[in-house]
Chain A
Amino acid sequence: MTSKTVQTLDRVVIRFAGDSGDGMQLTGDRFTSETAALGNDLSTLPNFPAEIRAPQGTLPGVSSFQLHFADHDVLTPGDAPDVLVAMNPAALKANLADLPRGATIVANTDEFTTRNLAKVGYETSPLEDGSLESWHVHAVALTSITVEALAPFEGLTRKEKERAKNMFALGLLSWMYTRPTTGTEDFLAKKFGGRPEILEANLAALRAGWNYGETTEDFASSFVVQAAPMAPGRYRNVTGNTALALGLAAAAHRAGRPLVLGSYPITPASDVLHALSGMKRHGVTTIQAEDEIAGVGIALGASYGGAIGVTSTSGPGIALKSETIGLAVSLELPLVVVDIQRGGPSTGLPTKTEQADLLQVMYGRNGESPVPVLAAQTPADCFDAALDAVRIATTYRTPVVLLSDGYLANGSEPWAVPEVDELPDLAVELASAPNAVDDAGEPVFRPYLRDPETLARPWAVPGTPGLEHRIGGIEKADVTGDISYDPDNHDTMVRLRQAKVDGIAVPDLEVDDPSGDAKVLVLGWGSTYGPVAAATRVLRNAGHAVARAHLRHLNPFPANLDDVLRRYERVLVPEMNTGQLALLLRGTYLVDVRSHTAVRGLPFTTVELADVVSTILEEVS
């Protein structure tokens, strides 16, 4: 056996890329799980086409999974990979531009056939024509070595053996980065428990990959990335959609009310439906509706009955739900609307990320129809954001929009699992008795008599004796809730609904300005949290003073936002849209914020944002 060196690295970015059918998402998930178990901090970015199986070997069919792991705090999935695993020529071609020179490429030579090369426009094989000489290339016959390693499995077809090549690749990378494979072995045992031969074959492929790294001279060294210092606690790795579903279930538990989700399948929100449909044991009811409109109607009907009604969707679904959200504004019932944003307009980019629904959820309804809006910042933060959304909905009896996006939905990071008794108390009080007296002094129920502090109306659910009342989308008289077309009453009600939303208690915006003398503030919202934090870190390490703040609440804005905006000479607002928050800030505060925007379906890179901020720093220096 060749003696191998072991090098220590502080961080690594790996991208697994292959055909949609090559199992790259699974490979990435498993590598992530192994990495999490080692105690590295990490962040992931899956990137896949909307087609389930685009034509094999073509550029549109490339699916990838990027993982950034380190011995320190990780904020983004990484701008550029240090290692690219390319399962075919298409995967190489689609990803090479992102790969800095000097990075490592592990390529599956078996797929670099004349035919496959031609499919993506390579005239000669880049593995052989010298065009990759600036990179470290490991050309490995992944498929044929896997098939050979599985020769003893006579009951399997060649196709079935070939399919295990992703496990071979995982084994090889696990050796390279000294990842334990026991978790993956357990995972495979669960997945293929009923098919022993397939299970054994996958395990054999995984071990063959590991042994290949260990024994062949091609791989001279392996790497160690030490655990990151993390706060003590119990951790798990979560995607944004998983964290969001857990947050909703936890919120309902803390509210003491059942959770009812009405939802229609849509990318990238369906995983919220999937996750919640598996939580029946926790009293969670999921109803897969006939369409988006029914999804929100079901949620609203359940809320009317006293449940925590939730609907989950993406941008096109919001468009369809708008009228019902408006009804919820008028009925003043709790409702949580989850929008996992994706590229638009129309069908747009179903599997790619964007932040372009902000104005839609703020204003995309008829009439004056204010709705509180909040946005999650990281995959794990989707949990806290969901709890906050339920708090606002139940406290203020209002529909709430919770914004996430494709990047948060599918990306993952370690999450310090909270103790249940540390979660906020979301107990709600349902109306149980008349709340007023009529002219004759008899007790009566006034469905639109408001709490003086929150301006919320009573949540009086059917089944409560003595509180029978009628509500509807027609304008209601203040206090009594009877139909009213009175001009002054309408003016009053419009302003009351607005005042209620404006008065929602949201925490002040915290500004991260360690030196205290920054002249430039970078103000983000939603999933730009990681890239903004990473970019400011880069600049601070280079000796610059930069302040940073991130908005959780988009409606209402934090009370101190006006002050914060005026404290800095320049405010930069980076967004994955064409300037929607910037428009709101300018219109609300008359502050000339700088807008930096990109709508490429991908999160910002650290370098891109650091460059933009640098330019502004120069202006004020």
Chain B
Amino acid sequence: MTLTDLGMPVTGLQHVPHLPDDAPGQSKRDFTSDQEVRWCPGCGDYVILAAVQSFLPELGLRRENIVFVSGIGCSSRFPYYLDTYGMHSIHGRAPAIATGLATSRPDLSVWVVTGDGDALSIGGNHLIHALRRNVNLTILLFNNQIYGLTKGQYSPTSRTGSVTKSSPLGSVDAPFNPVSLALGAEATFVARAMESDRAELKEVLRAAAEHRGAALVEIYQNCPIFNDGAFEVLKDRTQQAARIVRLRSGEPVTVGPEDDRRVLVRVAGGHGEFVPEAEVGAREVVVHDAAAPDPSAAFALSRLDSPEMTHVPMGVFRQVSRPTYDDLVRAQVEGAVDAAGGPATDADLGELLRGRDTWTVG
């Protein structure tokens, strides 16, 4: 199929009304609702909420044109705490509801807040189809590798062998890698961030919001009650540098502190391997290209990750431009309306009702 250039807007927020230049600036306070936040003390969700509340003013959008839609789970309480429009829906279905909203309302910035159980288990189908269609949504997937609201069962991202309330002998499920899954669905924007790294999180959120199309951001989030410390090795200053692979498009993929830098080199038939900088020699260094049309390279990067978290890429894996579903749907409707000379009048409706084969009595 040849895709014709429909003159599509290039950023995710293009059709969303912005504040006038001379309007007083918004603050975090403007996005804080009057509801008491009811997550457990120490929950990673607080950090993400604070980051989002302080980041949203930077977009300069009219508050009433921002909508957060969530499913069910701890993370899905998120919309209650933001003073925007919000819907706390049902388990797993937020991407479907958001698809209907985003397709019928181009003037809205539509966000989905979901968790690993909500997005990848009960709502897995809706997630992959929202990504496949490339609906203009920003999806924040809080991954804490556990079911929190139902008090501690293993989730589709829990590592195999997790001992939980519903797996006393250890879970036998193989976990999903959300980033690999999203790339497999050919999502046009896929990123990962740590709840604790606010600078990185805000940077990724900004890119995701401005991306036109479905943007999936996986956020590693700690559940202090049922899965405390799941990402501790990535937060630990001594280990962090050796494990976190910070993806920068156009730059070689590296890991490790300054004095022990390792570089990703290509391996025939494999995802690549990290070798000390000094030993690279003639080997082909993997340079990250988030804009590569083929998602295979980004997928290979996503496979560096493992349940042991030896090497965990963070940042934007993929960021490509592809016509969005909602733009295309609207273009068909608007095209048909324009071709017919404008919105349907009573006379046009009358013609529709009569059809092509009528007869008259009397």
Contact = CB atoms under 8 A, between A and B. Distances in A.
B100 A299 contact: yes
A130 interface: no
B108 interface: yes
A301 B98 contact: yes
A482 B34 CA distance: 10
Contact of A280 (B80, B84, B337): B337
Contacts of A283: 333, 337, 343-344
Contacts of B352: 246, 249, 279, 282
A327 B332 CA distance: 30
B210 to A, nearest CB: 20
B340 interface: yes
Interface string B330-348: 1011011101100110111
Interface residues of B, number: 64
A401 B356 CA distance: 30
Interface stretch (A60-68, A84-92, A286-294): A286-294
A305 B354 contact: no
Interface stretch (B51-59, B60-68, B194-202): B60-68
A470 B86 contact: yes
A250 interface: yes
A426 to B, nearest CB: 13
Contact of B340 (A246, A281, A302, A469): A281
Interface string B76-107: 00011011111111100100111111111101
Contacts of B35: 470, 482-483
A262 interface: yes
Interface in B309-362: 329-330, 332-333, 335-337, 339-340, 343-344, 346-350, 352-355, 357-362
B359 A39 contact: yes
Given A230-B361, A235-B361, A294 B88 contact: no
Nearest to B335: A280
Given A280-B336, A280-B337, A302-B103, A462 B344 contact: no
B264 interface: no
Given A283-B344, A462-B108, A236 B357 contact: yes
Contact of A287 (B69, B98, B100, B348): B100
Contacts of A471: 86-88
Contacts of A306: 104-105
Nearest to A37: B359
Nearest to B64: A465
B125 interface: yes
B129 interface: yes
B99 A294 contact: yes
Nearest to A233: B361
Contact of A305 (B66, B104, B125, B129): B104
Nearest to B62: A465
A253 B344 contact: yes
A472 B104 contact: no
B33 interface: yes
Contacts of A466: 64
Nearest to B83: A468
Contact of A462 (B85, B335, B346, B349): B85
Contacts of A36: 357, 359
Nearest to B87: A471
Contact of A281 (B105, B344, B346, B359): B344
A233 B354 CA distance: 11
Contact of B355 (A236, A297, A305): A236
A473 B89 contact: yes
A305 B62 CA distance: 16
A475 B347 CA distance: 45
Contact of B93 (A279, A305, A324, A467): A324
A323 B336 CA distance: 35
Contacts of A260: 100, 103-104
A468 B360 contact: no
A165 B83 CA distance: 68
A294 B355 contact: no
Contact of B100 (A297, A327, A483): A297
Contacts of B98: 301
Contacts of A238: 355
Contacts of B271: none
Contacts of A440: none
Given A301-B102, A419-B350, 9 more contacts: A236-B359, A291-B125, A294-B93, A298-B99, A301-B101, A323-B93, A465-B63, A469-B86, A483-B80
Which 9 A-B pairs give the minimum distances between C-beta atoms?
A232-B362, A301-B100, A472-B88, A297-B96, A298-B100, A280-B336, A301-B97, A294-B96, A301-B101
Interface of A: 33, 36-37, 39, 183, 227, 230-238, 246, 249-250, 253, 258, 260, 262, 279-285, 287, 289-291, 293-294, 297-307, 309, 323-324, 326-327, 331, 417-421, 462-474, 482-483
8 contacts: A233-B360, A235-B360, A282-B352, A301-B97, A301-B100, A304-B101, A462-B101, A464-B64
